[in-house]
Amino acid sequence: MGLDMYLTASKYVGRWSHENEKEKKAYDAIVAAAGLDDFVCEESPSLNVEVTVAYWRKANAVHQWFVDNVQDGEDNCSRYYVSRDSMSELVTLCKKVIKTGDASELPPTAGFFFGTTEIGDDYFFDLKNTVKQLTAVLNDKRFETCEFNYQASW
């Protein structure tokens, strides 16, 4: 029990007649891997693939940043769209706080099983982990056409 945080990437894949062969093969492979060959809708051969690309546990300062900057202040365990620009902004902020040690722009926040609010090793680990995970996603060409969503649960 506690604050679990997920960033997912989703991508549309179709098998329409106008799709290129690479897209069609990807669609066929995903359908086969999921064991859904007999459940394909021939009138609309399409699917969305979603993968978790970042995960945090009780990184309450990072969660609060998402609440304030992505979720319009709503902290309700719903899914929210995250732009690549927002991810870059968070990476930049985390790097700044790591470098200066000044947590005033990214303060810990208390909440229901949100973990510690102390600014110590765990806090800085969360920021370094955020930089590592989001930088990997932002630099990976496979995610250039994906849509990203953030969701937390506790």
- pTM of the model as a whole: 0.91
- pLDDT, tens digit, 9 for 90 and up, residues 111-142: 878 999 999 999 999 999 999 999 999 999 99
Strands 147-153 and 80-82, bridge-based pairing: antiparallel
Task: Work out whether the CA dihedral 89, 92, 95, 100 comes out positive or negative.
Answer: negative
Q: What is the DSSP string of 24-40?
A: HHHHHHHHHHTT-GGG-
Rounded to 10 degrees, what is the CA torsion of 2, 151, 142, 133? -40
Q: Are 152 and 4 in contact (CB under 8 A)?
A: yes
Phi, psi of 149 (to 5 degrees): -140, 145
pLDDT at res. 40: 86
The number of folded domains in the chain is 1
Closest to 108 measured CA to CA, from 62, 57, 154, 56: 62
- pLDDT, tens digit, 9 for 90 and up, residues 23-52: 999 999 999 999 998 888 889 999 999 999
- pLDDT, tens digit, 9 for 90 and up, residues 90-114: 999 999 999 999 999 999 999 878 9
Structure confidence at residue 18 as a pLDDT band (50, 70, 90)? very high
pLDDT at res. 41: 87
Measured between alpha carbons, how far is 25 from 18 in angstroms, rounded to an integer? 13
SS3 21: helix
Measured between alpha carbons, how far is 98 from 16 in angstroms, rounded to an integer? 48
Closest to 123 measured CA to CA, from 62, 39, 79, 36: 62
Measured between alpha carbons, how far is 123 from 108 in angstroms, rounded to an integer? 8
Q: How remote is the C-alpha of 19 from its chain's centroid?
A: 27
Domain limits for position 10: 4-153
**pLDDT surpasses 90 at 1:** no
